[in-house]
Chain A
Amino acid sequence: MGVRSSFWLFVIKRLGISVFLLWGVATIMFLAARLVPGDVISVMLGEEAAADPVARQAMIERFGLDRPVPEQYYLHMTNLVQGDFGISMRTRGPVADELARAVPASLELGILAGLISAILGIFLGTLSALQRGKLADQLIRVVTVTGISVPLFWLALVALYVFSFKLQMFPGIGRLSPGVAPPPTATGMYTIDALLAGQLGTFADAFMHLLIPGAVLAVFTMTLITRFTRSAVLEVLNEDYVRTARAKGLTSVRILFAHVLRAAFVPIVTVIGIMFGAVLAGAVLVEEIFNFPGIGQMMFRSAVFLDMPGMIGIGLVVAVIYVGISFVTDILYGVIDPRIRVS
């Protein structure tokens, strides 16, 4: 069997595992939502209407809660397969519609946060390693310790206060300024959709609204990437082949990019993949503070409300994102280091 066919076998296996994982997540979310104590019907109807047996029964039937749990599970899973996530108990609208709005919003924010954290993290980590023990290294280490220690919600409020309120460099909360109509939907990401529609003003507005929450969200992951990059680069710098490259008279820049960073990238890429989870976790608070209607905000509000269809929908989306990132990370290993691809 050749290397190419082994690779595809690997891809198929990973896909199979991914489907199994998603089924597991959907099942666990379904069961967890039913095990959590609480009376969501009363929250939906208010206490007066919930005391009316007719109104209560109608709502129970509307959400299929009168059926046996195995039947609910069967219906739930068959609906999921058909892309039907059900009706949200919180918004009373289709969960799929809300996800269709929330996922692109969070992706837009997450991609920006990921880019900021990856670029700055790798840069600072490399600089810190190259300047080991010097002032720059010390300063960067102080920054990273601070970044890990600072509570995200506090940082979000401070950033909003300083950059939006005091300096007025950036707009405030939301995805767009009040009253600005969203661009025609193509991807759901306002910056891209605005560019596709040729609406530069809307693009500028959407982009500016992304910057502060994106930067806040990037802080935690950036500090971790910085620390990982520093240790990875330090490890590679001591390798024999790096000394050999120096002895051959290669320039420092060439040694750094061609030998050091390339070798250090495998652990760094792993960390970046894992860090996306931290971005999602951070989005729960950051999106709530910035009134940014993404999956973080949806997750928070669904959980507080005990909105079962909403929680299951988000759980699945997050699982898909995780599985997807894990999949892409595995593929990237092979691209960065051919030895992994062959093995």
Chain B
Amino acid sequence: MGVPHRRIAAAAAATAALVLTAACGDGEGNGGDDQSGGQDQIIIDLLFDGQEASVDPHRAAAPSDRTMFRAMYDTLVTFPTADLSEPQPWLATEWSSNDDATEWTFQLRDDVTFSTGNDLTSEDVVWSLNRLKNVGDRASYLMDGLSVRADGDYTVVVESEVTNVAVPFILTSSNAAILDSEELAANGGTADESAASTDDAGIYLSSNSVGSGPYQLERYEAGSELVMTRNEQWWGNEPAYEQIVLRDAEPAVQRLNVSSGDSDIVVDLGQEEIAALGETELQVATSPGTNAWVLVFNLDDSVSTVTSSADFREAARMAIDWEALAELGGDGAQRHCGFILPTVASGLQEGDEGCIEFDVDGARSIIEDAGLDGETVTLTLQAFDRDGVNAVEVGSRIAQMWQDIGINAEIVEQPDAVVADLRNSGQIEVFIVPNSMRSPHPYTYVGTMNPSGGTSQSGESYRGGWQAADQSGAVHEPLPGQTECAALGVDGQNSASMDDAVPLYEDWQRCMNEVSPFIPLIVGTASVVAQPDLPEITDYHPLWAIDIPTYTGAAIG
């Protein structure tokens, strides 16, 4: 029996050595002989809340996608800081428009080289913006009504079908990324009008960079990790860090990671998680959230005789205690009762105008007079957090408030695909949704929130059963003030200058707040938490959480 004992002892020794080897690593993979991450990296945890589509800037459009694209793909203009009032030069050094803002001319840098080694010219810009338009994907709407042409090697002209002062703002979107057309065309990419069915470059972009940003893609594991390394061809300052690692992590895990030093920066902590950090040396930068939570009532009486009632809508609004709702978002969250758009949208100043006084008794008497006492509405939502605000908590609190005026709200949680189905068929009675940053300009919101009509049978208003006319052209009875309200938004869109547009957009929102089926509720807070020894973080960037080119010192100016 001696031999088996020796074998057992040898096996035990081998196992112990194995565990020891593992334990002697520093847990960072640097204890070994190879493939170490090195010191020169930043690890950023964030929720990969997109659809995990390939790393294709013309297709993916979730907030986490924007953070990645901003570091790898340049745009003509951008917002390097959290100030969204005026686009700043990036690939374009200067730009101007004609008098009626239908033609915008951008002058490009002539010293930009893609990470592939090819030079960037106006042809790449035209090709890229056409691909964005024609792939017919999540962000293609940005190019609605726009066309692009080259005017020489380093001049690009963007033409709009209508007066549009928002063009430079729209082109700050990380989806308006400029890609190496030669390289991508050779790997399945196309910008033709048939791109929606023929473009096949997504898989290539999941493992290759064809941009000119300060970083280039090293590897991407869908829904798990994206690693970027310095782009040696970058035209700006050398980035301070060799490698940027973006990891997918739930907020609760992000808090643990940043507390233990496993992550350098995390961007999805709500106020509860921030409070749970306790007294900490970590840097915490908090800014107003970029999502405006709103209620959407369905105005179609074939869907709901309750929500289509003006009396119900008035009473439901009066029954909302905005201050109590704001408490759900923790410190820094604000009531949002004047505007229907995120408050960080460019140039807008929200005041208290439009806020309706909280009046339970008044609301209850309206419900009783209208004979709606005891009616039930279905309140549909998706169970997620945005800016530290949880949809279920908001829904539950509103249901309580409406209970006080005699309305029962039945909360129904649905997954994305089911909600999309119900919304597109206009079947949701009451919906709670965060109105997120589509673009830092009100322009792109008007089309989707003004009442739909004729061939424009889409948008938030359509999903809320708010139609000016149906597809047959039959005109629907407008709500009081609806026509004037819609006109304000269109006038804002047609303004030839931002100075003219901003007051109109503000009036449009106040008017929409009174007339439309959209009821603004609350804006949470967004935060960036970073290790104390990292460069200072002053705020949460409304578009990309953290502007990697600026933070790493790569941006010029």
Contacts and interface: CB of A to CB of B under 8 A. Distances in A.
- The answer to whether A and B assemble together is yes
Interface of A: 36-40, 42-52, 54-56, 58-59, 61-62, 90-94, 98, 101, 157, 160-161, 164-165, 168, 170-174, 176-181, 183, 199-205, 207-208, 288-289, 291, 293, 297, 301, 304-306
B38 interface: yes
Contacts of B196: 54-55, 58-59
A40 B197 CA distance: 17
Given A58-B196, A201-B36, A202-B34, A174 B417 contact: no
A171 B27 contact: yes
A39 B260 contact: no
A265 to B, nearest CB: 19
A49 B35 contact: no
Given A38-B421, A46-B137, A49-B138, A306 B415 contact: yes
Contact of A293 (B29, B221, B259): B221
A43 B256 contact: no
B416 interface: yes
A205 B21 CA distance: 10
Interface string B483-508: 00000000000000000000000000
B417 A172 contact: no
B253 A289 contact: yes
Contact of B222 (A44, A47, A61, A91): A91
Kindly state the interface size class of chain B when it binds its partner: 35 or more
A43 B250 contact: no
Interface of A is mostly: helix
Interface string B242-268: 010101111011001101101100000
Nearest to B141: A48
B53 A91 contact: yes
A205 B253 contact: no
A244 to B, nearest CB: 23
B54 interface: yes
B420 A204 contact: no
Contacts of A36: 417
Contacts of B421: 37-39, 42
A97 to B, nearest CB: 8
A49 B134 CA distance: 11
A93 B206 contact: yes
Contacts of A293: 221-224
A305 B32 contact: no
B51 A305 contact: yes
A51 B460 CA distance: 11
A92 B37 contact: no
B32 A168 contact: no
B136 A55 contact: yes
Contact of A291 (B54, B253, B416, B417): B253
A170 to B, nearest CB: 7
Quick one: which of B53, B56, B457 has the most chain A CB within 10 A? B53
Given A179-B38, A179-B245, A202-B34, A160 B256 contact: yes
Contacts of A174: 224-225, 247
A31 to B, nearest CB: 17
Nearest to A207: B22
Given A61-B197, A170-B27, A48 B458 contact: yes
A291 B52 CA distance: 14
30 contacts: A42-B424, A44-B51, A48-B448, A51-B459, A90-B52, A91-B52, A161-B256, A164-B260, A171-B262, A172-B256, A172-B263, A173-B247, A173-B253, A176-B29, A179-B227, A179-B245, A180-B28, A180-B35, A200-B34, A201-B30, A201-B33, A203-B21, A204-B23, A204-B25, A205-B25, A205-B28, A291-B253, A297-B224, A305-B416, A306-B416
